[in-house]
């Protein structure tokens, strides 16, 4: 009812929609209309009511509300089920919980603020309240767990290409899961999976983008290494529209990966890559070393040529890369 | 208190232990002793009490009770935390839940009966109430998710070697996760993991052994393909002792895998293997085909030589193997 009332207010060509008109249109009592309007106001919608004229939608709140995300969302299945919470521990924690309870592929979790936002390997991911786009979604791919890194590649391509195409930003990918503009991180991806040895139960994929974040919101130690769309474009960015574009792009890339396999995706990933050909320092769980990044293989591993000719080609599945 | 009372009753060299003696030994009131005895009786312990003589432990119930499992358990950490439930949906479901809540490595889940016992890929695992040994435990290995199949190998070796060494049974391993005696399945392993792309959060490893199961407990369709220790040995087997031996062996193999890597384990696995060198039919998610199993690689994949020379060597990560 709430969402129908909102749609009617949006779609009207009149300046005001009368209570009676709304009541007829939706087939409910005027009291029910009034309750729906109150409820929308509580969510942050600015709805003006004037005696004898009716209701007018004056201002939509700058929140990632489900009704806003669905309005004009071009996906076929991604983000049709939405779980929105003003604050969450992290979107991936909730997404995993929902997936365990059987939530469908494409289920979306969105929040304004994470209390325990995390990046890879338990690192903190900080995003000031209401300034980022923080979301997770559930996938149930027919992939072997060993191929799960392909999903991180898929998401990285979707995010980087959306920033390039829709926002004209020179976004690139730093292996394995970060999106950079120049030498500053603008977005990150966290891929978590529940699996048996030979099959994935579900994947919870979390994405965080610094959107309307002022650099001084970050701690001094981060400030030189991060950026945001606000910072790069010089003006605030509509977060809902960005999220819709990301979802559209993610759905398309995921479908392509399912149908065409990893090879075409890998080629596009290579065009966006910021690491290959460069001298890198690998800080890995087993051992750290320096070398030249030369390729990625079909499992998403980074192939690094060790410099001193001692170890030859090394295959890096986990670890951090720093450019030298 | 309950477990201390039980230990005192076990350890006494007297036929009867007086209520007063117990009360002094444990430093509690005689009422507390009486309550502990009542509580043990409710669990199934047969404790005789005689006026002026005291208490005597007459019979231990044939249940996988935590106090029984701990009594004489030789492990350093595996199975020290025990969650016992008379009935469970499945031990792996509870183990995963406990792991998410932060349960330590080595935490053990045991039950007499599973309502939703599962094998690989969602298949049913049936074990009549009180006749099997059904347990799961939590591991937190410093392995890449791609190496998780090594853990299934580790468990398969531990189970098969325990059956050979302690019960003199010709147990072997059918890739990837089944223990056979002859052409009949006696035990199965289910390895589930929660992971990020480059690190394992936790592993829940479930093991089910047909112990005192009569073949006519199984459905007619299964009867020709399964066996139990009772069936093979001709007499019932002490389930608690079997579980303790399995835990001891699992801890030892897991420690060895952590310290020495996969190579030594793989060699022992090869000695127990029932598949290599044989003509096999592979029923895989992508495609089914016939060939000769020739090896397993360091990721636990089965290498199969296709017969008609069309496809050469194929690497099988998932699927079922049937011997031809």
Same domain assignment for residues A153 and A300: no
Q: What is the dihedral of CA B21, B23, B26, B32, to 10 degrees?
A: 150
State the ipTM, two decimals. 0.72
B159 and B205 assigned to the same domain: yes
Residue B136 sits in the same domain as residue B36 = no
Q: Which of these ranges, A262-271, B28-37, B306-315, has the smallest mean pLDDT?
A: B306-315
Q: Is A190 on the interface with B (CB under 8 A)?
A: yes
What CATH number has the domain bearing residue A125?
3.30.930.10
Are B288 and B176 within one domain?
Answer: no
pTM to 2 decimal places = 0.82
The answer to whether residues A193 and A251 belong to one domain is yes
Q: Answer positive or negative: Cα dihedral of A115, A66, A230, A155.
A: positive
Q: Do A145 and B146 touch (CB under 8 A)?
A: yes
Same domain, A176 and A252: yes
pLDDT at residue B65 tops 90: yes
List the helix and strand counts (H, then E) for chain B.
10, 14
- Name residue A189's beta-bridge partners: A207
Q: How confident is the model at residue B14, as a pLDDT?
A: 73
Inform me whether the C-beta atom of residue A21 falls under 8 Å from chain B C-beta atoms. no
Q: What letters, b where the CB count within 10 A reaches 16 and e where it falls short, cover A161-177? A: bbbeeeeebebbbbbbb
Classify residue A181 by burial, with Cβ atoms within 10 Å: 0-12, 13-18, 19+: buried
Inter-chain CB proximity B192 and A199 less than 8 Å: no
Residues B172-182 have a mean pLDDT of 94
Task: Indicate if B79 and B38 belong to the same structural domain.
Answer: no
Cβ of A121 under 8 Å from any chain B Cβ?
yes
pLDDT on residue A311: 62
| Average pLDDT score over residue span A68-93 | 94
Decide if pLDDT at A27 tops 70. yes
Place of tokens 């040529």: A305
Facing residue for B146 by CB, picked from A146, A199, A319:
A146
**A275 confidence band (pLDDT: 50, 70, 90):** very high
- Least CB–CB distance from A197: residue in B144, B148, B194: B148
Which of A148, A198, A317 has the CB atom closest to B318's CB atom? A198
Domain boundary among B59, B74, B103: B59
Assign residue B310 the CATH number of its domain.
2.30.30.100
Q: What is the mean pLDDT of chain A?
A: 91
The per-residue pLDDT for B310 is 58
Quick one: pLDDT band at residue B309, thresholds 50, 70, 90? low
Over residues A2-16, the mean pLDDT reads 84
- Contact present, A164 and A172 (Cβ < 8 Å): no
Co-location of B125 and B206 in the same domain: yes
Q: At A308, is the pLDDT very low, low, confident or very high (cuts 50, 70, 90)? A: low
pLDDT-derived band at B308 (thresholds 50, 70, 90) equals low
Domain end (from B256, B272, B288): B272
Phi then psi for A154, rounded to 5 degrees?
-55, -50
Q: Are the beta carbons of A148 and B197 closer than 8 angstroms? A: yes
Taking the C-alpha atoms of residue B277 and residue B217, their distance in angstroms, rounded to an integer, is: 34
SS3 of B92, please?
helix
Judge whether residue A246 has pLDDT over 80.
Answer: yes
Confidence label for A261 from pLDDT (cuts 50, 70 and 90): very high
State the CATH number of the domain containing residue B50.
1.10.10.10
Confidence class of residue A316 from pLDDT cuts 50, 70 and 90?
A: confident
What's the CA gap between B108 and B203, in Å, rounded? Answer: 12
B-chain residue closest to A150, CA distance: B197
What is the average pLDDT score of chain B?
Answer: 91
**From CA A147, how far away is CA B201, in angstroms rounded?**
18
Residue A274 CA to residue B71 CA, distance in Å, equals: 58
The Cα of B195 is separated from the nearest Cα of chain A by a number of Å equal to: 5
Please state which of the ranges A102-106, A160-164, B163-167, B275-279 shows the lowest mean pLDDT: B275-279
Q: Given pLDDT bands bounded at 50, 70 and 90, which one contains residue A2?
A: confident
Tell me the per-residue pLDDT of B85-142, one tens digit each, with 9 for 90 and over.
Answer: 999 999 999 999 999 999 999 999 999 999 888 877 677 888 888 899 999 999 999 9
Residues B28 and B106 in one domain: no
Sign of the Cα torsion B250, B254, B256, B260 reads positive
Kindly list the residues from chain A whose CB atom is less than 8 angstroms away from the CB atom of residue B196. 120-121, 190-193
Report CB contact under 8 Å: B193, A145: yes
- Which B residues in the span 222-251 are in contact with A, Cβ-Cβ below 8 Å? none
Q: How many domains does chain A have?
A: 3
pLDDT band at A265 (very low <50, low <70, confident <90, very high): very high
Q: Do B124 and B32 belong to one domain?
A: no
Of the residues A235, A251, A272, which one is the last residue of a structural domain? Answer: A272
* pLDDT class of A202 with cuts at 50, 70, 90: very high
pLDDT band at A240 (very low <50, low <70, confident <90, very high): very high
Instruction: State mean pLDDT over A246-266.
Output: 96
Q: Please give the share of chain A, as a percent, with pLDDT higher than 90.
A: 63
Q: Cβ B196–A152 below 8 Å, yes or no?
A: no
Tokens encoding B146: 């791609």
Q: Which of A198-207, B157-166, B303-312 has the lowest mean pLDDT?
A: B303-312
Is the per-residue pLDDT at A319 higher than 80?
A: no
Range of the domain at A249: 66-272
Residue written as tokens 């932060």?
B102
Which pLDDT tens digit goes with each residue over B19-62? 888 898 889 998 999 999 999 999 889 999 988 889 999 888 88
Q: Kindly report whether the peptide bond that precedes residue B176 is cis, defined as omega within 30 degrees of 0.
A: yes
Residues B82 and B198 in one domain: yes
Q: Are residues B289 and B180 in the same domain?
A: no
Q: DSSP characters for B190-250? A: EEEEEEETTEEEEEEEEEEEE-S--GGGS-HHHHTTB--HHHHHSS---HHHHHHHHHHHH
Phi, psi angles (nearest 5°) of residue A6: -60, -45
Which pLDDT score, from 0 to 100, does residue A169 have?
Answer: 97
pLDDT band, very low/low/confident/very high, at B219 (cuts 50, 70, 90):
confident
- Dihedral sign computed on CA atoms, order A17, A23, A26, A29: positive
Single out the residue of A118, A144, A303 nearest to residue A208, CA to CA: A118
Window B:303-322, CB contacts with A under 8 Å: 317-319
Q: Do B198 and A319 touch (CB under 8 A)?
A: yes
The SS3 assignment for A161 reads helix
């Amino acid at each position: 009812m709430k969402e129908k009332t909102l749609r009617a207010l949006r779609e009207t060509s009149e300046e005001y929609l009368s209570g009676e008109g709304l009541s007829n249109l939706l087939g409910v009592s005027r009291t029910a209309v009034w309750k729906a309007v109150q409820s929308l106001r509580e969510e942050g919608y600015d709805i003006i009511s004037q005696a004898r004229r009716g209701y007018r939608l004056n201002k939509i709140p700058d929140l990632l509300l489900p009704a806003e995300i669905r309005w004009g969302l071009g996906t076929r299945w991604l983000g049709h089920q939405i779980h929105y919470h003003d604050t969450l521990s992290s979107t991936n924690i909730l997404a995993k919980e929902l997936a365990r309870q059987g939530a469908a592929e494409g289920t979306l979790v969105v929040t304004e603020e994470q209390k325990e936002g995390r990046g890879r390997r338990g690192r903190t991911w900080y995003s000031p309240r209401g300034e980022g786009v923080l979301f997770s979604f559930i996938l149930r791919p027919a992939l072997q767990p060993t191929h799960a890194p392909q999903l991180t590649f898929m998401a990285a391509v979707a995010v980087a290409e959306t920033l390039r195409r829709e926002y004209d930003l020179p976004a690139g990918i730093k292996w394995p899961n970060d999106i950079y503009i120049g030498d500053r991180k603008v977005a990150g991806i966290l891929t978590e999976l529940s699996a048996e040895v030979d099959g994935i139960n579900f994947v919870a994929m979390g994405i965080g983008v610094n959107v309307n974040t002022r650099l001084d919101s970050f701690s001094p130690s981060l400030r030189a290494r991060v950026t945001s769309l606000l910072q790069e474009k010089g003006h605030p960015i509509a977060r809902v529209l960005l999220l819709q574009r990301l979802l559209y792009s993610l759905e398309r890339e995921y479908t392509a990966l399912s149908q065409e396999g990893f090879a075409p995706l890998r080629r596009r990933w290579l065009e966006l890559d910021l690491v290959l050909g460069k001298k890198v320092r690998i800080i890995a769980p087993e051992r750290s070393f320096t070398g030249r990044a030369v390729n990625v293989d079909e499992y998403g591993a980074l192939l690094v040529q060790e410099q001193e000719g001692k170890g030859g080609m090394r295959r890096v599945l986990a670890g951090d890369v720093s450019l030298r």
